[in-house]
Amino acid sequence: MNVFHGQDHEPQFSSVEELREHRKAEVVLGYRLFGAHHWGELGDGHITARDPERTDHFWLLRYDVAFAHATVDDLILVAPDGTVAEGEGLVNSAAYFIHAPIHDARPDVVCAAHTHTPYGTPWSAFVEPLRMLSQECCAFIDNQSVFDDPELDIVQLDGGKRIAVALAENSLVWLRNHGTLTVGASVAEAVGWFVLAERAAEVNVKARDGHAIADDDARLVAESMRPPAVGRKVFEWLVNSKLKGSAQ
């Protein structure tokens, strides 16, 4: 497994097979990080990674595996019709209905990440974007949107298509009364943004009437907070601090 040092993109590999294994390993680490935060303990969440060869397929943890115990062998490859193309296990239907349209609409997206969290889910109930109340928030100025739709249980692709429209070209979308969804050009980036968004949501929930950073000042901070390397570096720090020494 490669160690990241502020790269803007995924590491370069000599074969598509190596890139595929890299993405699958990062997906497993992403799930384990969610598990280390005690997120998704009710099976409420999903991280997907686009296959580098069959680009309309994505890798996903089979439904009955606890996030903290995820392994590469627990991943399944989901086809465009929602069936399992490789591996064995059940497909999380919400993951398919939400993520497939996002991957289809955004060819630049390698990974999408979503789960229910202590602050992202409460913040989503306000049905508004983050206020610029902290440094972490500034990563999402002009880079977030709100899915203001009463459909909470996404049970068909049309719901996911509406989420993809709401997401647009942003890295973060708040799902009304539901929670956080982030995307990135790598698994590491998407998971890094997810954790930063949770930190930003915590500030917004706890200091709802706090003094906001001026937009111009927030945009200056965003110059150093928004590059993909930042999301990847957050992921690296999380792996080193929460998963170092665990089996992969």
For residues 213 and 132, the answer to whether their CB atoms sit within 8 Å is yes
Q: Distances in Å between the alpha carbon of 211 and those of 127, 133, 180? A: 20, 7, 23
| In the chain, where the domains are located | 16-243
DSSP annotation of 152 reads -
Nearest to 131 by CA among 207, 41, 22: 207
Nearest to 213 by CA among 200, 195, 198: 200
pTM above the 0.85 mark?
Answer: yes
Contacts of 141 (CB under 8 A, 6+ apart): 132, 215, 218, 219, 222
- Per-residue pLDDT of 84-121, as tens digits, reads 999 999 999 999 999 999 999 999 999 999 999 999 99
- Per-residue pLDDT of 175-196, as tens digits, reads 999 999 999 999 999 999 999 9
pLDDT band at 4 (very low <50, low <70, confident <90, very high): very low
Yes or no: is domain 16-243 CATH 1.10.8.10?
Answer: no
Q: How is residue 20 written in tokens?
A: 């595929």
- Per-residue pLDDT of 132-160, as tens digits, reads 999 999 999 999 999 999 888 898 999 99
What is the phi/psi pair of residue 120, to 5°?
A: -65, -40
Tell how strand 179-184 and strand 58-61 pair up. unpaired
